[in-house]
Amino acid sequence: MTKRTSLLSKWEAYLREPFPMLVGLSMNRIFHGSNSSEEEDVNLSMGILLTLLAIPGGFVSIFLFDKYGSFLQWLRGQTNFDPIAAALPDEYFFIVLSMVVTGGVAVWWWDSIFPDRRDFANLVHLPLPASKIFLANSVAVVISTGVCAIDVNAASSILFPVVVGGSQTQLSFVVRFAGVHALVVVLASIFSFFAVFATAGLLMLLLPYHLFRRISRYVRTLIATMLLATLATSFAVPRMIEGLPRSLHSPLRFLPSAWFLGFGQLLHGTSDGALARLGHVAVAAVASACAVAAATYTLAYRRCFVRLPELADTPTGNLGTRSSSIFRLLDLFIFHTPFQRAGYRFALKTLFRNEVHAVSLGGSLALGAVFASQTLLSALNEKGVSPRPTAAELSIPLILGYCLLLGVRFVFDIPAHVQANWIFRFLLDTNIHEAVALARRIMLCFVMPWLFLAVLPLYIHFWSWTIAFLHIGFITVWFVLLTEVLLVGFRKVPFTCRYPPFRPAAVVAVITCVLGYFAFTAMTSELESDALASPIAGGFCFVISLAVWYAAYRIRRRALAGENHLMFEATPAADFEFLHLSDSG
């Protein structure tokens, strides 16, 4: 037996020891979700998840070739190019990106970081000391954090230094820059992860368990919003950094991403006093986040995990029927058939009573809010309110609507307690169904009321009645078209189908959503802006909307011609298909 095989077999034997086995179980729970979401979560495989996490850093690094390429600098006449100074805004962006992605992962893993009821049911009656289960879970959390931090930053830690150092003659510059960049972004990731973890632990420790469970979804949405707001600082902060030495009371002192930028500059040896101070704060912040997370985790473990059976026996509150009058009103005007009425009630209650669904929708709304506020601020900073709305000002409701519609469509695919879908299988005729009609109405119910309650008064206030009503008209058309496009091929009762169809093509789906965002928000608002200026452009706009609607209609017709039955068990795309070449003749 070779030395390598012997080491491998020793490692395999070690993995079959009780402790590594417990660590493996905990890691599986962290990556695949807790028992509250058994088989129902988006539940991406570890490979797809790690690929998705690594994509943003790699993409952004590649886009930066344009900025740092020596030939392009020469063309631009940049002869005295200081790569470290030039890289400051990009360095900041990567820090923010690493914090947002890792923090987002921690928010997603919120429920699975701690051992759950399934662990309790399977492990606690076995002859294992409670400390062993605790220690194994702690090790799993640390390993998962490490894997996540390295994965999120791996691409940028290799590509970004290569891009920045492309014009440098010394390899040592690239190596040193890469080392500093990797350390800074990984520490930023670790800080972000443990800050979220510490928040969860602290809330679990301070609040009664049922209250913790109840407010979790709001806290997760709030953290997601804060993370996305941090992402929005990537344009403003690098400019503010320049004025930092003169401004002792700069709000940047409170921004964690700025601490890590300071830490990076400290390691590069290019920081002034103010940035160096921020750099020291970064080190203290990482240590504090880890310490608070460890302490709260230990105490919360003792308080919650050990007492899980007692918590299970605590009765839950009355769900109430406060919204029945709203439902009756909607029944009257929007949901006309029994299926639509029952489906809407089911969908709404599923959305708001299941944490994964509520947080996913909240996250997409938060994303919209951050993008919209950033677009609005930059539009107002440029010109103030102009007599006729600019494309940026017109795009605000479109941004919010896009994120919300996409969010609702996305959560429709996340199954909720699929074992309970037998009632729909039992009661519905799978060949004659109104799945699209129901989904369309639900999606539009999420966005349309806001057009009249918020958008219309605001546009009347800032511009005029005519512009406000025209804008509402345009947006309504675009929202309906987007809904139609998003529902192409949809034939399920929301939340009742086991397998999310985007799973095999998750990477492609994410890229399509990003491109769709630009197409929907930027292009349509430009078109509308032109249409408000000239009737010819308005006509062009009308033709485009008609074309989009017709394309969606045709695609749906073609899809329905093949299979139209209601779906409860989506099957993944086949790895190969028979071409039946012999049948052609």
440 scored as a contact of other proteins (CB under 8 A): no
Asked whether position 337 contacts other proteins by CB under 8 A, the answer is no
Is position 118 an interface residue for other proteins (rule: CB under 8 A)? yes
Interaction of residue 301 with other proteins, rule CB under 8 A: no
Residue given tokens 């769709």 in the structure block? 516
Spell out the long-range contacts of 318-325 with Cβ–Cβ below 8 A and sequence spacing 24 or more. Answer: 319/353, 323/348
- For residue 336, the one-letter residue type is H
Taking the complex as a whole, the smallest distance from the CB of residue 10 to other proteins amounts, in Å, to 14
313 makes contact with other proteins (CB under 8 A): yes
> Taking CB under 8 A as the rule, does residue 35 contact other proteins?
yes
Tell me how far the alpha carbon of residue 99 is from its chain's centroid: 13
Nearest alpha carbon to residue 196 among 300, 104, 294: 104
**Chosen residue from 7, 18, 427, 461 binding other proteins by CB under 8 A:** 18
Least gap, CB of 29 to other proteins (angstroms): 8
Work out whether 16 is an interface residue with other proteins (CB under 8 A). Answer: yes
Residue from 55, 86, 128, 555 touching other proteins (CB under 8 A): that is 128
Query: Can residue 314 be called a binding residue for other proteins (CB under 8 A)?
Result: yes
3-state SS assignment for residue 513: helix
What end-to-end distance do the CA atoms of the chain give, in Å? 59
Among 572, 567, 216, CA closest to 412: 567
Of the residues 22, 100, 261, 372, which one makes contact with other proteins according to CB under 8 A: 22
Q: Closest separation between CB of residue 134 and other proteins, Å?
A: 14
Name which of 153 and 496 has its Cβ closer to other proteins. 496
Nearer to other proteins (CB atom), residue 133 or residue 404: 133
Binding window for other proteins (CB under 8 A); candidates: 101-109, 305-313, 445-453, 462-470: 305-313
- Applying CB under 8 A, the site for other proteins has a residue count of 27
- Using CB under 8 A, which of the segments 10-18, 59-67, 251-259, 281-289 binds other proteins? 10-18
The DSSP H or E segment spanning 185 is helix 171-206
Query: Which residue from 179, 245, 309, 539 is in contact with other proteins, where contact means CB under 8 A?
Result: 309
Q: Is the distance from CB of 494 to CB of 412 less than 8 angstroms?
A: yes
CB atoms within 10 A of CB 162: 15
Q: Nearest CA to 147 among 92, 190, 185? A: 190
Residue 211 near other proteins by CB under 8 A? no
* CB closer to other proteins, 40 vs 91: 40
Please give the distance of CA 367 from its chain centroid, rounded to a whole number. Answer: 8
Is residue 121 within the footprint of other proteins (CB under 8 A)?
yes
CB 438 within 8 A of CB 429: no
Cβ closer to other proteins: 41 or 151? 41
We find the least distance from the C-beta atom of residue 50 to other proteins, in angstroms, to be 17
Which range binds other proteins by CB under 8 A, 118-126, 217-225, 339-347, 516-524?
118-126
Q: Is 213 in the site for other proteins (CB under 8 A)?
A: no
Verify binding: residue 356, other proteins, rule CB under 8 A.
Answer: no
**Could you give the CA distance from residue 202 to residue 189 in angstroms, rounded to a whole number?**
20
The CA distance from 115 to 306, in Å, is 10
Find out whether 375 and 399 touch, Cβ atoms under 8 Å. yes
Does 310 interact with other proteins (rule: CB under 8 A)? Answer: yes
Write the binding mask 37 to 56 for other proteins: x where contact by CB under 8 A, - elsewhere. Answer: -xx-----------------
What's the CA gap between 261 and 96, in Å, rounded?
Answer: 9
State in angstroms the smallest separation of the CB of 391 from other proteins: 49
Quick check: 21 binds other proteins (CB under 8 A)?
yes
d(CA 35, CA 123): 14
Q: Among 444, 411, 432, 436, which Cα is nearest to 330's?
A: 444
Residue 346 engages other proteins in binding (rule: CB under 8 A): no
Rounding to the nearest 10 degrees, give the CA dihedral for residues 279, 281, 287, 290.
Answer: -100
With CB under 8 A as the contact rule, the residue among 51, 58, 117, 213 that binds other proteins is 117
Residue 267's nearest CA partner among 84, 102, 93 is 84
Q: Which is nearer to other proteins, 41 or 91 (CB)?
A: 41
Please, what's the largest Cα pairwise distance for the chain?
84
Please say which residue, 128 or 377, places its beta carbon nearer to other proteins: 128
Q: Does 243 bind other proteins (CB under 8 A)?
A: no
Measured between alpha carbons, how far is 105 from 543 in angstroms, rounded to an integer? 42
Among 3, 4, 125, 557, interactor with other proteins by CB under 8 A: 125
CA angle 469, 474, 480 (to 5 degrees): 125
Task: Give the single-character DSSP code of 426.
Answer: H
Q: Which stretch binds other proteins (CB under 8 A): 89-97, 123-131, 174-182, 566-574?
A: 123-131
Q: Is 255 in the site for other proteins (CB under 8 A)?
A: no
Binding residues (CB under 8 A) for other proteins: these are 16-18, 21-22, 25, 28, 32, 35, 38-39, 117-118, 120-129, 309-310, 313-314
